[in-house]
Amino acid sequence: MSLAGKKIKVNGIYLNVIIEGEGDPVILLHGFPDSAAVWRNQIKVLTGSGCRVIAPDLRGFGDSDAPQGRGQYTLNIIAKDVTELLDHLDIKKAIFVGHDWGAALGWYLAIRHPERIERYVAISVGHPRAYRSGIEQKLRGWYAFAFQFPVISEKMVRAFDWYVLRRMTGNHPENDTWIKDLSRKGRLTAGLNWYRANGLGVIFGNFPNVHVPVLGIWSTGDRFLSEDQMKNSARYVNADWHYEKLEGSSHWIPLDAPDRLNALLLDYFGRQTGKKN
């Protein structure tokens, strides 16, 4: 199965989008510093179960455009990228799965555009109101503050052969791929602009409760996100809520625990539709 994407123009930019399979549409949203390739272990399984998988490189990442300026990376603008992509593909409603910033984006879409979401799987990152409460999560999220300073942050991350990134990620095997991608002109700044454009909004913004079914997944080896910010998301979901904890995986669940994640996704999709995949 080829994972080559196609360029689709939405919201004034070109997104590189992997589209595979036939059947019920499933939208996969990656985070920082990834691309749609982070879902490579999920795409084959989901398409084999009768899903049509749409996995975009979100703006600033992968082979999608990376417009200049932090104002180009607000969740409002990125959400418009996604809704225009749905319109382009003539998809009225889909299952959404998000990880890291992709999970934050998924929550935003579930709040602002619930009519487009059949159900939602949030991996690692909980509802914004749960995320911003609690001391433990504030301590774990120190890096989001460190990323706020243009030029200085870029120099910090790149210094000593990307030492900060390697240390933060626990020398994850995917580091060589991330570093290659982020070394392209303007790409590190584009990724950090997600933090710069949305930091204050996440802390002070208005995020009502979600009215679509949600499965929250968190891993015990996640050094960036606390369990409470995911578990407490139940308070902000006025629909069916499920929570699953994965033992032993790092933050990058799609890469580190693909079999367990795939089983959860297929089970959850079957439970919600009344049919088993």
User: What is the pLDDT, as a whole number, of residue 4?
Assistant: 81
Computed from CA positions of residues 88, 92, 94, 96, in that sequence, does the dihedral angle turn out positive or negative? positive
Average pLDDT over residues 1-16: 89
Residue range of the domain that includes 221: 6-273
Structural domain count of the chain: 1
Q: In the chain, pLDDT over 90 holds for what percent of residues? A: 95
Q: What is the pLDDT of residues 104-145, one digit of tens each?
A: 999 999 999 999 999 999 999 999 999 999 899 999 999 999
Q: Is residue 1 part of a domain?
A: no
Characterize the bridge pairing of strands 13-20 and 51-56.
antiparallel
The 3-state DSSP class for residue 157 equals helix
β-partners of residue 98 are 29, 122
Active-site annotation holder among 100, 181, 222, 256? 100
268 annotated active-site: no
Q: For the full predicted model, state whether its pTM sits above 0.75.
A: yes
Q: Is residue 74 part of a domain?
A: yes
113 annotated active-site: no
100 annotated active-site: yes
Secondary structure percentages of the chain, helix, strand, coil, to 5: 50, 20, 30
Active-site annotation holder among 24, 251, 256, 268? 251
User: What is the pLDDT, as a whole number, of residue 266?
Assistant: 96
User: What is the pLDDT, as a whole number, of residue 2?
Assistant: 55
Active-site annotation holder among 73, 120, 195, 236? 195
Q: Is residue 165 part of a domain?
A: yes
Q: What is the pLDDT of residues 140-192, one digit of tens each?
A: 999 999 999 999 999 999 999 999 999 999 999 999 999 999 999 999 999 99
CATH number at residue 175: 3.40.50.1820
